[in-house]
Structure 1
Amino acid sequence: MGVLTDYFRAPHAEAVVQSLEETDGGSPLLAEPPRFEGADAKGVDNVVLGKLIAAIRRTEWRVDLVDGTTVWPTCPAPGPDGTETEDDPWATGPWVWELPSLVRDTLARVPDSTVPAVIARWTDAEELQGASVESIQPLAEKLIVLARRAQDADEQLYCWLSL
């Protein structure tokens, strides 16, 4: 089972929630017409995105590097004593996070001239074993352009993820 992941930009979480309510939680990128500008990034979850951010910042990856704020599902998460049911949206997804501005701004500030070197560092990540710079560069460039447009529009980046 693969992880389906889309990254997109939106003006605010309320617009994202409204879109998800209208599409029964489906990716805003698959709506007709697409609700927001974004990039299909199958398999690039928050860990893999965090490895890209670490490569750009030339720092070690940390679990909290791309921690965001959950915007979907909108129902409260079960507590430690809560019992998940088989149709519990927290167990079944999809899930959407608003990524921190640090992620958007880090991606947006990557100079075009350094993109190949950044991607070369990124492909060293264990999760990307076997990926070449040439195969992953289009996605990295889409994420960088998306972040620049989000920053220019004073919007945030969001991650939609489904199993």
Structure 2
Amino acid sequence: MGVLTDYFRAPDAGAVVAFLTSSEAASPVAEFDGVEAKSIDPHVVLGLLVAVAAGEPYQGLASRPVWPATPEPTGYPDDGDPWADGPWVFELDTRVRDVIADVNEVTAVVTEWARAEEVGGSPSDWEPVVGELVALAGRARSAGQRLYCWTCL
């Protein structure tokens, strides 16, 4: 089973929740400006990208869940609970957006990032999607918007 991840920009979490409420969990990339980024999860793999781009050790990412719109369970969710089945959407901290938007040398960043065991693969395979993420982050910053990650099994 693969994990799908899409990154997109939106004016605020309310707009994202309104879309997801009316769309029956379709990817927000259909509605918002975004990038399909399969396998770049919003916690570890994107966090490693931000660490490399910022020139600092990996420390995790600041994000908050905005979907499902129900309270997050304190334990493992029951079958049928939207927290068990997804999709999930996380709002990323503006620092994440800004660090990604500031990447000038995509090739150099991707070359170092792809060395991580959690990333793997050839830098040439990753360079196009990272380039798209850099451009998306730049558009989000210019528009005063946040970045979000939609994840689905």
TM-score (norm 1): 0.89
Q: Does 1:127 align with 2:118?
A: yes
Residues in 1 aligned to 2:53 and 2:9: alpha-carbon distance in whole angstroms: 20
Q: Does 1:14 align with 2:14?
A: yes
Alignment correspondent of 2:102 = 109
Residues 27-46 of structure 1: per-residue CA shift (max 9 Å, x gap): 112xxxx2100000011102
How far is the alpha carbon of 1:67 from its aligned partner?
Answer: 2.7
Counterpart of 1:43, as a letter, is S
Q: Does 1:56 align with 2:53?
A: yes
What are the within-5 Å matches in structure 2 for residues 1-163 of structure 1? 1-29=1-29, 34-46=30-42, 47-62=44-59, 64=60, 66-80=61-75, 84-111=77-104, 114-129=105-120, 131-163=121-153
Report SS of the residue matched to 2:118: helix
How far is the alpha carbon of 1:2 from its aligned partner?
Answer: 0.8
Runs of 4 or more off by more than 6 Å in structure 1? none
How far is the alpha carbon of 1:15 from its aligned partner?
Answer: 0.3
How far is the alpha carbon of 1:85 from its aligned partner?
Answer: 2.5
How far is the alpha carbon of 1:128 from its aligned partner?
Answer: 2.0
Report SS of the residue matched to 2:28: coil
How far is the alpha carbon of 1:5 from its aligned partner?
Answer: 0.3
Residues in 2 aligned to 1:14 and 1:153: alpha-carbon distance in whole angstroms: 17
Residues 111-142 of structure 1: per-residue CA shift (max 9 Å, x gap): 2xx2211111111111222x112111000000
How far is the alpha carbon of 1:26 from its aligned partner?
Answer: 1.8
Residues in 2 aligned to 1:127 and 1:142: alpha-carbon distance in whole angstroms: 20
State, as a whole percentage, how many aligned pairs show the same letter: 45
Residues in 2 aligned to 1:59 and 1:77: alpha-carbon distance in whole angstroms: 31
Report SS of the residue matched to 1:125: coil
In the alignment of these two chains, the number of paired residues is 152
Unmatched runs of 5 consecutive residues or more in structure 2: none
Report SS of the residue matched to 1:161: strand
Report SS of the residue matched to 1:124: coil
Residues in 1 aligned to 2:124 and 2:78: alpha-carbon distance in whole angstroms: 43
